[in-house]
């Protein structure tokens, strides 16, 4: 079986849908979890209209410091709700404040109907990483049970990880032959 990479799942959720998907992904990958939480007074959540406005304007809002350093992981899965066909401002703020270092990225989002591709492009622009895989789930898919979609997403992640490891291994330089191997080589070619 292909080993799963050391992973971190990071997400912001206002309604609980993105949280549900993030926790399902983390459980399947045995990944660490870090929920993106707005900085400021506890229990105060901006209105839905304000969230939509900030997202549509491409604003990044202040978030609490991450519990986990994303640069210490092989893979960081970043989840966002789609607000007004845009990346949620708290996720944008987190991405700007927390460089991924050499970690690879994967993106997931929950949405009412459309905007996923735009959100994935915005995530890529903000973090400077191309997604290894993406997962977009509508509200109806989340409520109906997203297990098959999550399984397919994880298969793409794990499959790409295995292919990347195999490619790295295949392109690694061969070790220099030792003195014994060099002597056998000369004998085989009649030079020894």
Confidence at residue 59, expressed as pLDDT on a 0 to 100 scale: 64
pLDDT of 172 reads: 56
Tokens of 96: 């700007």
pLDDT reported for residue 184: 44
Q: Strand pairing partners for 105?
A: 76, 131
Long-range contacts of the stretch 146-153 (C-beta < 8 A, 24+): 146/21, 146/24, 147/24, 150/21, 150/24, 150/25, 150/28, 153/25, 153/106, 153/108
Contacts of 167 (CB under 8 A, 6+ apart): none
Tokens 């997203």 correspond to: 146
Q: Are 7 and 76 in contact (CB under 8 A)?
A: yes
* Euclidean distance between CA atoms 89 and 134, whole angstroms: 19
Element (H, E) at 5: none
In this structure, are residues 33 and 60 in contact, taking their beta carbons and an 8 Å threshold? no
- What residue has token string 């971190």? 8
**Domain ranges across the chain:** 7-188
Q: What is the pLDDT of residue 139?
A: 94
pLDDT in tens, the chain (192 residues): 445 569 999 999 988 999 999 999 999 999 999 999 887 665 556 666 665 656 655 666 667 878 899 999 999 999 999 977 889 989 999 999 999 999 999 999 999 989 999 999 999 999 999 999 999 999 999 999 999 999 999 999 888 655 555 555 555 565 555 554 444 444 445 544
Domain 7-188: assigned CATH number: 3.40.50.360
Write phi, then psi, for 175 (nearest 5 degrees).
-65, 150
């Amino acid at each position: 079986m292909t080993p799963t990479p050391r992973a971190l799942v990071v997400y912001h959720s206002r309604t609980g849908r993105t949280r549900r998907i993030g926790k399902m992904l983390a459980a399947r990958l045995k990944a660490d979890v870090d929920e993106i939480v707005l900085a400021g007074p506890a229990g105060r959540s901006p209105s839905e209209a304000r969230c939509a406005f900030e997202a549509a304007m491409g604003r990044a809002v202040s978030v609490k410091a991450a519990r986990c350093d994303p640069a210490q992981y092989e893979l960081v899965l970043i989840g966002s709700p789609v607000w007004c066909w845009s990346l949620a401002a708290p996720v944008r703020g987190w991405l700007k404040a927390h460089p991924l270092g050499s970690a690879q990225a994967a993106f997931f989002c929950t949405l009412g109907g459309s905007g996923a591709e735009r959100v994935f492009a915005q995530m890529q622009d903000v973090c400077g990483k191309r997604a290894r895989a993406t997962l977009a789930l509508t509200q109806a898919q989340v409520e109906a049970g997203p297990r098959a979609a999550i399984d397919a997403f994880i298969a793409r992640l794990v499959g790409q990880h295995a292919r990347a490891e195999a490619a790295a291994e295949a392109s690694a330089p061969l070790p220099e032959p030792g003195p014994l191997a060099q002597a056998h080589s000369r004998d085989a070619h009649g030079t020894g």
